[in-house]
Amino acid sequence: MQSRPYTVNQSICLSHRRTQAIQRLMRESIAAVHVTRMCVALRLFFYIGLISPSALILASTYNDSARLYADILKPFDIRIRPLKNQSEPITVYFQMFLLNILNIDEVTQQVDLNAWINFSWVDELRTWDPSDYDRVSLIHPMPLDTWRPRILVSNSVAKRDLFEDDYTPLYISSDGRSKWFPGTIFSISCDIDIRHYPFDSQTCTMYIMTQDFATNINFYPDPSTVMTGNFKRNGEWDLMSTQVITSTPTFSNAAFSRLEISMVLKRKPVFFVVNTLVPTMFISAISSIVFILPEDSGERASFAITMLLSLSVFLSTVSSQLPQNSENFPIIISYLFSLLVLNGTTVFVTVLHLRCRQKKKESTPKSTGKEARHVGPVLSARRKRHFHNVSIQPIWGSGEKQLAAIPGEANVGQSFQKQDIAQRKNSLISDGDVTLARETTTDHSKQRNNSHGNSVVMAYLKDPNVLLFVFINTAWLILTTYFLVELISP
């Protein structure tokens, strides 16, 4: 079946329709593009509307601040005090914030402090109305761009003009109130009195003065103490109290305003007591044991010399920690030196006693020397008591008690007992007389016991080793008590 061919009119209608469809598609595409461009334009206008007010505000604030700095800082000379009446002094208020105590060196007598200082005053020239500068009421100029008090630390061991190159910003408010917060490490000299070391308390004073006359600047402490709210405690020293006062010293007929910051510091003595004082006292106390050691052991002299050398080491250790001056001589050094002399005396007496003992042994016969080696003071006293009590006669009714006190007389005691019974049967003595006789015998026994104890004590006291031991310990106790009282007492 053959297809029917198109006519000319039909072909023209078909092409016209295609052209219309293409034009319609093009119009729709162009409309979509216009819509997209309009959306982008609306977004841009929206963002610009949000950003432009902030940019305008920032530009306005910056311009106002720049204009304020130019109007407030540039017209005035920083060398002239900010007062309208230059014949009056300007009052500078002072506050000190102590952070910590870095170091206290007793040898160089130097104290290192970490602190901030607040200087505040009223600037009568640099004032403005915040409404004229878009409500800007505070500026922060550099110290070199405005007036500030020139400060010196007169007892500094480093630079005296500590704040010469300080770049801590100042704060100037619209009413003229100005504040300056310089901070640094203050190294100051301090007269340290170490007489009662390590139970000492020190008062260190820092002097801050101006380079202008007192007729130009007056210091006023507010408050009259150092601020210690952020103070960190030191491991060796306790901060007891602080005080800030003003004074007006005169140099070359010129008066200056000066601040005196005093700090009372008390040393913590625990470390020194545990590590130095107690071992020294212990070593010096046991040095007297040398007189208890046996004389023939051969260790007396070496033990005494060892104790003396140990004490010398402790003395040198303590001396190295203290300043080398003789104005305030430490009591602890005097105490250690006294102990050193006492131990030296112990060594000398020990060697001298051993020498005398050796000479006595050489001059004594060998047999006598061997017997004397085993006879002590107590044994000699017992022998003397035994021989002295043999002559005691028995008394009626107490023969068994009396002879019981004499060892080795058992048989004799039995004979006395029989004789006592026989005499009591044949006599007319009453029981009361017998009781009285027994009490008298008991008193005699007590007297013999007391005399025995006294003889033992006297024998010990006659021993030179015991006497030396008691003497050295007594001297040590007196020295220790005296020096400890002097150390602890203020």
Quick: pLDDT tens for 398-441.
444 444 444 444 454 455 455 555 555 444 445 555 455 555 55
pLDDT (tens digit per residue) in 168-183: 778 999 999 999 988 8
Taking residues 273-282, what's their average pLDDT?
86
Q: Which residue has the higher pLDDT, 479 or 11?
A: 479
The pairing of beta strand 183-189 with beta strand 250-251:
unpaired
Q: What pLDDT is stored for residue 452 in this prediction?
A: 52
Q: Which residue has the higher pLDDT, 91 or 465?
A: 91
Q: Is the pLDDT of residue 88 over 80?
A: yes
Q: Which of 311, 300, 318, 301 is nearest to 340 (CA)?
A: 311
Q: Is the pLDDT of residue 234 over 60?
A: yes
Q: What is the dihedral of CA 161, 163, 166, 169, to 10 degrees?
A: -150
Q: Which residue has the higher pLDDT, 413 or 327?
A: 327
Q: What percentage of the chain exceeds 90 in pLDDT?
A: 19
Residue 306 CB partners (closer than 8 Å, separation 6+): none
Q: Which of 110, 99, 97, 101 is nearest to 237 (CA)?
A: 101
Taking residues 215-234, what's their average pLDDT?
90
Residue 97 near residue 118 (C-beta atoms within 8 A)? yes
Number of C-alpha atoms within 13 angstroms, CB side, residue 446? 6
Question: Whole-angstrom Cα distance, residue 460 to residue 453?
Answer: 11
Q: Whole-number mean pLDDT of the chain?
A: 75
Question: Which class for 219: exposed (0-12), middle (13-18), buried (19 or more C-beta within 10 A)?
Answer: buried
Q: Is the pLDDT of residue 260 over 90?
A: yes
Taking residues 55-61, what's their average pLDDT?
49
Q: Which of 174-183, 359-368, 386-395 is least confident?
A: 386-395
Q: Which of 281-285, 334-338, 384-388, 460-464 is least confident?
A: 384-388
Q: What per-residue string of b and e applies to 141-158 under the rule 16 or more CB within 10 Å gives b? A: bebebbbbbebbbebbbe
**H or E, element range at 220:** strand 217-221
Q: Which of 270-284, 379-393, 408-422 is least confident?
A: 379-393
Question: Whole-angstrom Cα distance, residue 161 to residue 152?
Answer: 5
Q: Which residue has the higher pLDDT, 459 or 63?
A: 63
Q: Is the pLDDT of residue 196 over 70?
A: yes
Residue 411 near residue 418 (C-beta atoms within 8 A)? no
Q: What percentage of the chain exceeds 70 in pLDDT?
A: 65
282: β partners: none
